[in-house]
Homo-oligomer: A and B are copies of this chain.
Amino acid sequence: MEKETSFGNVLIAQSGGPTMVINQSLVGVVLAAKASPKVKHVYGALHGIQGILDGTLIDLGKESSDTLEKVAVTPSSALGSVRRKPTAEDCAAILKIFHARNIKWFFYIGGNDSAETVKILSEHAAAAQSGVVCFHVPKTIDNDLRENDHTPGFGSAARFVASAVMGDDLDLRALGGVKIDIVMGRNAGFLAAAAALGRVEPDDGPHLIYLPERPFSPDAFVQDVSNIYKRLGRCVVVVSEGISDRDGVPYATKFLKEVDSHGNVQLSGSGALGDALVALLRARARPRIKRMRADTFGYLQRSFPGVASSVDSQEARAVGKAAFEAAASGQYASGSVAIKRLPGETYGVSYEVVPLAKVAKETKSMRDEFITPEGNNVTKAFLDYARPLIGELPVKGYLQAIPADD
């Protein structure tokens, strides 16, 4: 029998905005850890590093398989979440708890800010020679993590957005007019761009897509919408909440004043941007548009149950498993697992360990080849990139609408 000291415990936590599949990654780590002969206890901290500091740890090893599988298909972060950047004091306190609990492997499921947290913590762990292996497990609906072809959570949110805009375009066909849909994405337009995946026929919406990657011009917006409306009698416009002017100032800051804990203006959870764009069209679009509406998809797009992408679900599970295996291999003191797309015609991915510094803090945006030269739509290259990630969309059918004989 191995000595007690050769065993270690695992601690897992979740951080940042929830996704539909973040619990798949949680369960991926838990099941791999439970199956490992190196692991004694599998703990979870509630609400990220806050839970470690508060001592609210739970024993994930005591959860039944049935519970874990139900949790895996449940949207949002089952362990709760937090947005908190650890101070040096926090790190010292956390390492003390790791030592007391014999935690040898720490997993933090989150986006770029969470990767930054793991990086800071791993640097303190190395300096203290604690031997704790710190891993970041990627997730974000924004799809903006560097080193990753795409991120767990994006495919499902993209499937929601594509479905929603498909339905919205069908709705607008019935009664005409202009519809503006505001989609999440502070700095990266991937999710807004995904709205185009629901198009089947040439006139299907969304007809215009405005992204944070291109400066937003109210003049061009009014002209673009007017042109489409004149031609089709309707226009579905998708707008990323992060659209900004040439100086990078978010357009929404003209109407919003709430600031979050990072000093960023709170873009989500308000309908103000959509309402302001409707007001802009009302004042300036000619000919006048009779019927205008704006919907802000808000939190539905990241936590709606029952619409997760099958591909995204599988990959989110796999990335959790891959993170545990890499951490337990003994080859790394820290790292993040990145999703890489395999070359070739058939879609496939591999999971690779990358240094935390390469995914932490900074994010990536849509590549130029994904955006049309006019900056108000996406290209076939984007559709080819994104389509394999969202699974099958619901079928839609149109009447042939053959005119009645006279």
A contacts, CB < 8 Å to B: 14, 17-18, 41, 43-44, 46, 56-60, 62-64, 67, 69-83, 101, 163-164, 166-168, 170-171, 173-175, 179, 268-272, 274-275, 278, 292-300, 302-307, 393-405
A81 to B171, CA, bound (A): 9
**Interchain CB contact under 8 A, B300 and A167:** yes
A321 to B269, CA, bound (A): 43
- Report the minimal beta-carbon distance from A257 to chain B, rounded to whole angstroms: 11
* Chain B residue, CB-CB nearest to A14: B174
**Interchain CB contact under 8 A, A41 and B404:** yes
A58 to B14, CA, bound (A): 55
Cβ-defined partner of A74 (8 Å) among B46, B62, B170, B402: B170
A297 to B293, CA, bound (A): 12
A43 to B302, CA, bound (A): 42
Q: Which of A57, A272, A293 has the most CB of B within 10 A?
A: A293
* Chain B residue, CB-CB nearest to A168: B299
Known: A271-B270, A271-B271. A75 touches B171 (CB 8 A): yes
**Interchain CB contact under 8 A, B296 and A269:** no
* Chain B residue, CB-CB nearest to A58: B401
**Interchain CB contact under 8 A, B168 and A58:** no
- Report the minimal beta-carbon distance from A183 to chain B, rounded to whole angstroms: 12
Contacts of A64 in B (CB 8 A): 400
A294 to B122, CA, bound (A): 37
- Report the minimal beta-carbon distance from A34 to chain B, rounded to whole angstroms: 14
* Chain B residue, CB-CB nearest to A62: B402
Known: A75-B167, A77-B174, A171-B302. A400 touches B62 (CB 8 A): yes
Contacts of A63 in B (CB 8 A): 399-400, 402
Contacts of A398 in B (CB 8 A): 67, 71, 74, 78
A-B pairs with beta carbons under 8 Å apart, 13 shown: A41-B404, A58-B403, A60-B399, A67-B398, A74-B396, A75-B170, A75-B171, A268-B293, A269-B295, A270-B274, A270-B293, A297-B300, A305-B393
Contacts of A174 in B (CB 8 A): 14, 18, 76-77, 80-81
Contacts of A171 in B (CB 8 A): 18, 75-76, 299, 302-303
Q: Which of A46, A171, A394 has the most CB of B within 10 A?
A: A171
**Interchain CB contact under 8 A, A269 and B298:** no
Cβ-defined partner of A293 (8 Å) among B62, B67, B168, B299: B299
- Report the minimal beta-carbon distance from A17 to chain B, rounded to whole angstroms: 8
Given A58-B403, A171-B299, 11 more pairs with CB closer than 8 A: A59-B403, A62-B402, A70-B396, A73-B394, A75-B170, A79-B399, A269-B293, A295-B296, A295-B299, A305-B396, A306-B307
Cβ-defined partner of A168 (8 Å) among B69, B73, B300: B300
Known: A174-B76, A394-B306. A271 touches B272 (CB 8 A): yes
Contacts of A297 in B (CB 8 A): 295, 300
- Report the minimal beta-carbon distance from A214 to chain B, rounded to whole angstroms: 24
Contacts of A44 in B (CB 8 A): 399, 401
